[in-house]
A and B are shown apart, each in its own frame.
Chain A
């Protein structure tokens, strides 16, 4: 097996067609890595600067009423994960910042896609794009003649007459091609690792190392699948031409048609509400809670009556707390619940759509590697939701703290202001991206799909090869 692997490796390296293709793919990979890094640096610096600016503005507000501060609000900018330079995932479409203010949970806005032309819809030239779409093409061109050419030229008979089995020949070829593919892909991944761990702006650490290792392993399995698949197709097809056409057909089906069809099916089966509809629904439901800004609101009056009773006083003036602050707090709790429910429903819809695609990963390895790659890179939908929820948790805590400050001001708070130093005591938004251990359970299905493919294809494919004809 080792001899055959070595033969395939050496023959491949000496094949000018492969050299041209692999140099092209390698150049694309290196370019995508460098472009990814530049984009990462620019966006990260922009977001850090913007976060710093809004934090400074928030903390340096003049003496104000706390509720004005709550309405002045702040922004949360989503920092990019280190590995997003390899796979930007849904980052380009999900928005970068969210305005945090009282009474409402805003959606994350200002995505790259919103600010770019329509061409971004065709996908960006990221390392993940090259690894997921172009390297499989390279593998197809490398392996389509694995058996057909041997059969067509007659070398297969001579090979087998030496006493090796078709299965051994197949494994030797798979190993040889794997080495050739590794030679093309490894420099780009090594460069990515050097960029990740060799520069200061990336927060390296065990988590990032773990993610990168799993990222590399996942793609190793993905490429292995294509190599085995191409060798199997080559063994069962009658001619090199038929093998190439079959493999290209499978590539188009797996990498282009099925993902699009699944996305359309998901959107049809699980339609998401429009933003306008969601805003209208939230507004309507929020009516059922206390309106903190409406002094005539009956529920406010009931709350006030309860407070008077609780403190044993007969007028609002004698209360040690501000009724307005408590009403705002109650109102915030209710509206936050409404928003959270609607956002949870919306996210659940998106997750159902994504889940459908993940399940199709059992049929299509491309749809298994995509979520796995994004998940490990920290740029998938789950990581986005994690940020969204962290931003909302911060917003809610901040607003409620401001409401508590208002409450503590007692009666007549609306006529008074709190000192400017007060705002410097408030916590700032600091996002901590989730660790690998958090991400892995979300990626279980794609991992299982890839492993099932690897085991199933190796087992079934090698059986097919063993039973394939020799001449």
Chain B
């Protein structure tokens, strides 16, 4: 099977903390895998390892069959990333930020196309030519989504992407993920939002103290059952 994302015994250890212990994970194209867990459970570490931002202590992460550590730049062609708090360049407008990040990813869009991406991400038209320094967190998040979508990546790595979004925008984001997933884009999303995970995820994984303790298909659980399962692990 060709996995678009794969972790093999992936382990990350800091001098005084075991951040991730022996993660084994495979994600197929079109799959939306949601990582649930408390702060410090290892969700962001997993995403950072796939991005190559940190080096594993042992084991390996693969993107589209390429080992991340050996191909730190090449693998990023296949990845788009939205952090929990999208920080952009405050002296540039939303439009300029999108143009910058897209050009770094190798895409030279016309202005109309950039405006289209921002519009679909839900950024108000009046804001696109305003400096990002004046944006709310939610507006920055929307530009972050536009940046990720405009990259046309095979994989989206999302670290609490709906943090700061209003319910309407969160719902639109969920629809966008569903649409991208249907087009074959794989998604690995770290989230605290159990209901959003149930809504958009094809599988959920529960992490605790650096360990992936359970993986379930979302179709097999309703939201309450998922919440109960999650709380059970957290209380244990």
Contact = CB atoms under 8 A, between A and B. Distances in A.
Given A155-B89, A157-B81, A3 B76 contact: no
Given A3-B104, A161-B51, A11 B83 contact: no
Contacts of A471: 48, 53-54
Interface string A1-37: 0011011001100110000000000000000000000
B24 interface: no
A154 to B, nearest CB: 4
Interface in A154-186: 154-155, 157-165
A235 to B, nearest CB: 15
Interface residues of B, number: 31
A431 B89 CA distance: 58
A305 interface: no
A333 interface: no
Contacts of B77: 163
Contact of B103 (A3, A10, A14): A3
B159 to A, nearest CB: 9
A11 B89 CA distance: 8
Contacts of B87: 153-155, 158
Given A3-B103, A7-B100, A10-B96, A161 B89 contact: no
A44 to B, nearest CB: 46
A157 B91 contact: no
A165 B73 CA distance: 7
Given A11-B91, A154-B87, A155-B87, A161 B103 contact: no
Given A157-B51, A158-B144, A471-B53, A163 B106 contact: yes
A470 B89 contact: no
A154 B160 CA distance: 14
Contacts of A6: 100
A3 B96 CA distance: 10
A100 to B, nearest CB: 63
B85 A161 contact: no
A163 to B, nearest CB: 4
B76 A161 contact: yes
Contact of B53 (A155, A157, A162): A157
B91 to A, nearest CB: 4
Interface string A281-303: 00000000000000000000000
A471 B53 CA distance: 8
Contacts of B151: 162
Contacts of B105: 162-163
A161 B80 contact: yes
Interface in A357-390: none
A158 B83 contact: yes
Nearest to A4: B104
Contacts of B88: 155, 158
A154 B83 contact: yes
B10 interface: no
A311 B32 CA distance: 119
When A and B form their complex, which 5 residue pairs have the shortest distance between CB atoms, in order from nearest?
A163-B76, A161-B81, A162-B104, A14-B91, A11-B91
26 contacts: A3-B103, A4-B100, A7-B89, A7-B100, A11-B92, A14-B92, A14-B131, A154-B86, A155-B87, A155-B88, A155-B89, A158-B87, A158-B101, A159-B101, A160-B53, A160-B76, A161-B80, A161-B157, A162-B76, A163-B73, A163-B104, A163-B105, A164-B73, A165-B72, A470-B54, A471-B54
Interface of A: 3-4, 6-7, 10-11, 14-15, 153-155, 157-165, 470-471
Given A161-B81, A162-B101, A163-B76, 7 more contacts: A14-B91, A15-B91, A154-B85, A163-B105, A163-B106, A165-B72, A471-B53
